Amino acid sequence: MFTDTALLTVEEMGRADKAAAARGVPSLLLMESAGTAVANAIRARFPRRPVLVACGPGNNGGDGFVIARLLARKGWPVTVGLLGDPAKLKGDAKTNFERWRGPVKTLCASLLETAPLVVDALFGAGLARDLEGAALDVAEAINARGLDCVAVDVPSGIDGNTGEIRGAAPRCALTVTFFRRKPGHVLYPGRACCGETVLADIGIPAAVLGAEVAPTAAVNGPNLWTIPEPAAEDHKYRRGHAVVVGGGAMTGAGRLAARGARRIGAGMMTIAAPKEAGALYQQDAPGNIVKPVEAAADLSALLEDERYNAILLGAGGGKGAVLASMVLAVLKLDRSVVLDADALTSFADDPAMLFEAVQGPTVFTPHAGEFSKIFPDLQGDKLMKCREAAKRSGAVVVLKGADTVIAGPDGRAVVNTVAPPTLATAGSGDVLGGMILGLMAQGMGPFEAACAGVWLHGVAAAVHGPGLIAEDIPDALPAVLAALWDDGEAE
């Protein structure tokens, strides 16, 4: 169960709202706090200027009336445009409509002509279908004119649960959301429409999480896991002995993975690879041990030594039947296993055979293309697909991308938000696989190792900055680890 960085579904947010009311926080007060947070965020970022507040027919629109009132009180020239019939407004939205003393116009795109700033209070959690009519016109016109837009809760048209665009959505400079973020703020394309996202405390007690609401998704970060820190009494075997099954012809992937695993703290590293490539692996890094392995039987024989506690397959290491047989041999051993790239797609013809073999701590690290080869029928948004894949396979699934999702078979899911675009470079996925391997070798569980690996990988790339190549990621890790451990001591 997640708390601080939890991502709440629209339904969970509704329950949090009701729980707050049951604990004595009136909903009208929540709306006033929400509107105040948005108005304050606007005033902190934009100089006073004419503003159009576009209000929808529900409570998102209600927040809009609060914002209009508060900005007008500070001397901002405010125009309010309402979508729909004012007589149909209800509850807190109606109350705040009545508290707004200025005129209310019928919403249409021409209202944008005099407003360099737009507050999008059309739809939030209650978005029920694709935008149409005036709402669609306004969203499209905001984008066509490149107007500054501030979203209340979520840009209208973005599905809060999935990040998908329903018809259209304004590309906002700022989104102010309440209590906790929603998946739509961190999953693409929603994330790209949000701009800066501000999370406002509107008075919903944090204690509702864990009591009335038990979130199963969160934003990735160091609050979710702990990296094993080397201790004085450690020796190299205590820090694990990782194995990378490397290729004979393509050795780059295995070498990058091994480097990632060692930098993140694996005590020992063996590269198991065809004999002819041994010298290459050995020359690359004298710290690697290289063992000849041609087929599944060789790998099984090597792994009779139980000190090899974590194995990565798919970083090079062949394709098809040979690699698949190695994967099946390794999965039998109940050790920690990371399967990447061809180690997964080698089962494209019979993914069930792979899933049946998963029994111990196992992590799959596919990108979207590899994912669809072994889960061809899975539909829906990234969070939903990844969760279903984990449930089906029994493995922790890392569905890679700019918004990498990590899901466990138990239903937990984490979305990673630190991933600079420079990570789209050859070999970066091999390093990630190696990092997760290295963390599992040190005893981390598969879900925590996957989350930590993905986060550290993104942060290392961000710390390195422009001009990143895959080799830089392991080399940037020491500084990232030092900062992480320093912060821990400072707390």
Ligand X SMILES: NC(=O)C1=CN([C@@H]2O[C@H](COP(=O)(O)OP(=O)(O)OC[C@H]3O[C@@H](n4cnc5c(N)ncnc54)[C@H](OP(=O)(O)O)[C@@H]3O)[C@@H](O)[C@H]2O)[C@@H](O)CC1
Under rule CB under 5 A, residue 193 binds K ion: no
Among 94, 126, 291, 462, binds ligand X (CB under 6 A): 126
CA distance 423 to 242: 24
Minimum CB separation of residue 210 from ligand X in Å reads 17
Under rule CB under 6 A, residue 30 binds ligand X: yes
* Region 32-71 residues binding ligand X, contact defined as CB under 6 A: 34, 56-63
Minimum CB separation of residue 181 from ligand X in Å reads 13
Among 7, 31, 147, 290, binds ligand X (CB under 6 A): 31
Minimum CB separation of residue 204 from K ion in Å reads 19
- What H or E segment, with its residue span, contains residue 204? none
Residue 57 touches which of ligand X, K ion, none (Cβ within 5-8 Å per kind): ligand X
Under rule CB under 5 A, residue 152 binds K ion: yes
Residue 56 DSSP class: -
Residue number with CB closer to ligand X (34 or 386):
34
Under rule CB under 5 A, residue 162 binds K ion: no
Residue 120 touches which of ligand X, K ion, none (Cβ within 5-8 Å per kind): K ion
Peptide bond into 420 cis (omega under 30): no
Structure tokens at 309: 């506690």
The answer to whether 195 is annotated as binding is: no
Q: Are 217 and 243 in contact (CB under 8 A)?
A: no
Helix (H, G, I), strand (E, B) or coil at 278: helix
Under rule CB under 5 A, residue 63 binds K ion: no
Residue number with CB closer to ligand X (170 or 248):
170
CA distance 293 to 394: 28
Under rule CB under 5 A, residue 156 binds K ion: yes
Residue 88 DSSP class: G
Residue 103, burial from CB neighbour count under 10 angstroms (0-12, 13-18, 19+) = exposed
CA distance 368 to 399: 7
Under rule CB under 6 A, residue 152 binds ligand X: yes
Within the chain, what is the greatest distance between any pair of CA atoms?
82
Q: Are 481 and 457 in contact (CB under 8 A)?
A: no
Q: Are 296 and 329 in contact (CB under 8 A)?
A: yes
Residue 422 DSSP class: G
CA distance 355 to 344: 10
Residue number with CB closer to ligand X (36 or 325):
36
Residue 408 touches which of ligand X, K ion, none (Cβ within 5-8 Å per kind): none
Under rule CB under 6 A, residue 120 binds ligand X: no
Under rule CB under 6 A, residue 172 binds ligand X: no
Beta bridge partners of 340: 365
Among 2, 97, 100, 178, binds ligand X (CB under 6 A): 178
Residue number with CB closer to ligand X (59 or 404):
59
Under rule CB under 6 A, residue 78 binds ligand X: no
Residues within the interface to K ion (CB under 5 A): 120, 124, 151-152, 156
